[in-house]
Amino acid sequence: MTASSTETRVEYTSPVKVSLKLNGTPHVFEVEPRTVLLDALREHLGLTGTKKGCDHGQCGACTVLINGRRALSCLSLAVMHEGDGITTIEGLAHDGELHPMQAAFLQCDAYQCGYCTSGQIMSAVALANEPVGADDASIREAMSGNLCRCGAYRNILAAIKTARSSGEMPFVPSVREAPALTGADNATPNVQRTPAKKS
């Protein structure tokens, strides 16, 4: 390995400063450029509610809201989100009160082992800003990117319908106001898969 290639590698792996608004609070931290958002949240910022499942964007356990839209944090580099508003499961409750979707999951017993629950709830909250019908088939399609290995789908569906019908579904604020999606923007409403992949 030549000296120039060694220098290039050192420069690439040097920590990079990232600033973002996490659950309404500004945060500045340093990570390696290759660090995915999921690892930054769990290992650098101590927010372990977002779960590491498949690490390939296939299970939905790592779902968070980025500027109000759901995304898979295991497929997105942390450095891509400079200035973004990130909401995790820890940021849903307000003034000691559970978010209506969290309360509905408890009410409907929409979990078993609980590992996928945070991702399920984050996706379900995002439905408030997506063109998703109120019928069972539309909700199931919209939630198809979130897997539950325990098979609690019936209760998860019931929880989502309960929260949506309550009329108390506040939208989670973000740094940037996310416009409502239209059918043309999101013909098949599902978890937003960001283009960057873990290196």
Neighbours of 135 (CB within 10 A): 10
Statement: residue 174 has pLDDT above 70: no
> What number of CA atoms fall less than 13 Å from residue 133's CA on the CB side?
8
Q: Is residue 145 part of a domain?
A: yes
Residue 198 has pLDDT above 90, yes or no: no
Task: Please say if the pLDDT value at position 197 is more than 70.
Answer: no
Does 45 reside within a domain? yes
User: Would 5 be classed as within a structural domain?
Assistant: no
Round to whole Å and give the CA distance between 64 and 86. 7
Say what the pLDDT of residue 171 is.
60
**Exposure string over 137-147, b if 16+ CB within 10 A, otherwise e:** eebeebbebbb
Co-location of 62 and 106 in the same domain: no
SS (H, E, C) the chain: CCHHHHHHHHHHHCCEEEEEEECCEEEEEEECCCCEHHHHHHHHCCCCCCCCCCCCCCCCCCEEEECCEEEECCCCEHHHHCCCEEECHHHCCECCECCHHHHHHHHCCCCCCCCCHHHHHHHHHHHHHCCCCCCHHHHHHHCCCCCCCCCCHHHHHHHHHHHHHCCCCCCCCCCCCCCCCCCCCCCCCCCECCCCCCC
Mean pLDDT is lowest, of 20-24, 59-63, 177-181, for: 177-181
Same domain, 118 and 75: no
Same domain flag for 148 and 78? no
Show the tokens assigned to 46.
């101590």
Domain-ending residue, one of 32, 60, 91: 91
Domain boundary among 91, 117, 149: 91
Tell me the whole-structure pTM to 2 decimals.
0.81
| 125 in the same domain as 59 | no
Contact 1, 7 (CB under 8 A): no
Confidence of residue 163 (pLDDT cuts 50, 70, 90): very high
Same domain, 126 and 82: no
What CATH number is attached to the domain comprising 74? Answer: 3.10.20.30
Q: Are residues 18 and 64 in the same domain?
A: yes
Is 196 a domain residue? Answer: no
User: Mean of the pLDDT values across residues 154-166?
Assistant: 95
Question: How many domains, in total, are found in the chain?
Answer: 2
Q: Where residue 4 falls among pLDDT bands split at 50, 70, 90?
A: low
Specify the CATH number for the domain of residue 143.
1.10.150.120
Q: What is the pLDDT of residue 172?
A: 60
Q: How confident is the model at residue 13 (pLDDT cuts 50, 70, 90)?
A: confident
**Is residue 74 located within the same domain as residue 119?**
no
pLDDT at 146 over 90: yes
Domain boundary residue, one of 47, 73, 91: 91
Can you give the residue range of the structural domain that contains 145? 100-165
**Domain-located, residue 175:** no
Examine the domain organization and report whether 83 and 121 are in the same domain: no
From the list 108, 20, 104, 70, the residue with the least C-alpha distance to 194 is 70
Q: Partners of 21 in the beta sheet?
A: 26, 85
Q: How does the average pLDDT of the chain come out, rounded?
A: 84
**For residue range 129-144, what is the model confidence (pLDDT) as tens digits?**
899 999 999 999 999 9
pLDDT tens digit string along 82-124? 999 999 999 999 889 999 999 999 999 999 999 999 999 999 9
For the beta carbon of residue 76, count every other beta carbon within 10 angstroms. 26
